[in-house]
Amino acid sequence: MQLSSIIKKVVMALTGWLLIGFLVAHLMGNFLLLQGSERYDAYSAFLEHNPLLLPAEVALVLIFVVHVYLAVQLSWENMKARPTEYALRQTGGQSVWASRNMLITGLITVIFVVVHIWQFKYGTRPEHSLWQLVVSSFQNPTVVVFYLLCLALIGLHLSHGIGSTFQSLGLRSHSGRPRLLGASPALAFLLAAGFASLPLWVFLTSKRSDVQTFSSPKIDQVVPASVPKPRPQSTSNQSSTSSLPGE
């Protein structure tokens, strides 16, 4: 293996662990959603007014871009360098769906991140409340299904990705390999299940009357019912008003 490929795998492993660390912190903050709007919106305001937010976001975007770029590049190099038969022989029959489709689940992860940021960072907040935006969004079954499907695939991506980082960093020794092989899917499951529990909790427990929704207003809400509708004039009135004096 070329030295450049080894360096790329190490950098991708390190950026992957930085992203996992962000996911853990992000999940802990999101659990404040369960404590109501006051706590969650206070946490949101603290982050948005923190002077370190912008540098942290820039660093996070750079880490994410580097990780995705190296993943695509290494996948392309592996496809060119290894025939399919050789790759299957090297796995010793241990190839699983997650390992064979890392590029696909990674692409789904990128799409999910873009949609998630667009929806909750730049979405319109009812009464300037992020809590209300999140809850009203997760009352939509289509949004909940989208999140659950994406999180399941992201969990599969993490399950194989975490194990690959151990190998790239030289941590998968023969004695500790079984523990690491068990820790990888366990950590991935905890993260995916933790994030999936939030839309499920909102959808199953919240009432639509508790938050504002984004449904279009009805006609009787736009035009007050107290405004009298114009009544057509009778024929006799029309004839009398059209007559000129002296006729």
Residue 142 has a pLDDT of: 96
Residue 242 has a pLDDT of: 45
Give the separation between CA 86 and CA 227, rounded to whole angstroms: 79
DSSP H stretches of helix in 31-101 = 37-48, 53-81, 84-91, 97-100
What region does 246 belong to: left with phi over 0, alpha with psi -120 to 50, or beta?
left
Residue 31 has a pLDDT of: 96
Decide if 155 contacts 162 (C-beta within 8 A). no
Residue 148 has a pLDDT of: 97
Residue 219 has a pLDDT of: 33
Q: Look at the block and give the residue holding tokens 């990780």.
A: 67
Residue 53 has a pLDDT of: 94
Residue 247 has a pLDDT of: 44
Mean of per-residue pLDDT scores for the chain: 79
> What SS3 state is found at 245?
coil
Tell me the whole-structure pTM to 2 decimals: 0.73
Give the separation between CA 23 and CA 36, rounded to whole angstroms: 21
Which segments in the chain show pLDDT lower than 50? Answer: 85-94, 209, 211-227, 235-247
